[in-house]
Chains A and B, each alone.
Chain A
């Protein structure tokens, strides 16, 4: 009972933090949801990915609605990209399920390192531009 409450709180904290970073940096929840689900719940990499994807839906929806109010969503392009993604999605999910959990986890860890490098580069670019809101 106490364990399940603790786990529920941990999941809520994971969601909250991932959402804050998503709203703040535009880097989606998935990069935190997946490792969080593996570590907190001990899910397999495959389970963590499918579960992360569903959790992303409300986050992206809210983010898109907010951005749309600022006029930052080109709806027709977004719809085309979204609907035309289905072939790639089917291929990607099939590929993920062919790969072993260990391979998939290793690839995901590499992805995290690439995104970390991107973030560092973004931060340094802003620093060079001499942004008034310095570090």
Chain B
């Protein structure tokens, strides 16, 4: 084998291995996010985003964008399965899902105009209140 051919073959070997590892990582992320989403009824972004950053070296913005696209599938699968268990309230989902799309547009617009920091702290307080409310329910 010529030196050039050997180098090419080695490169192919490494990149083949790398792409296999990458696929395994994507499977692990999908499975973990799916489990999380199925158990908790959320999209799974809080699992996907950190893992994309940690394992695949994504930047935060790319991780968030890619996570949102994956969540479309994950949430659709999980709600279809939830419906199979008889837990889905279709009209209620429409009643919050449709106004929420308007909210996303407003939120994205606001994102360009203000720092999220105080909102993060406010939201954190809201989540703590919601947690207490659920525990008392």
Contacts and interface: CB of A to CB of B under 8 A. Distances in A.
Interface of A: 8, 11-39, 41, 43-44, 46-64, 66-68, 70, 72-75, 77-97, 99, 104-113, 115-120, 122-123, 126-127, 131, 133-135
B43 A30 contact: yes
A85 B88 contact: no
B90 interface: yes
Which residue among B104, B108, B114, B123 has the maximum number of chain A CB atoms within 10 Å of its CB? B104
A25 B120 contact: yes
Interface in B7-57: 23, 26-27, 29-46, 48-49, 52, 56
Contacts, number: 398
Interface residues of B, number: 93
How would you classify the secondary structure of chain B's contact residues: helix, strand, loop or mixed? helix
Contacts of B124: 115-117, 119-120, 123
3 smallest CB-CB distances across A and B, nearest first, come from: A92-B38, A19-B103, A23-B107
Contact of B130 (A51, A86, A112): A112
B6 interface: no
Contacts of B132: 109
B98 to A, nearest CB: 7
Given A80-B26, A85-B77, A112-B134, A93 B85 contact: yes
A18 B123 CA distance: 10
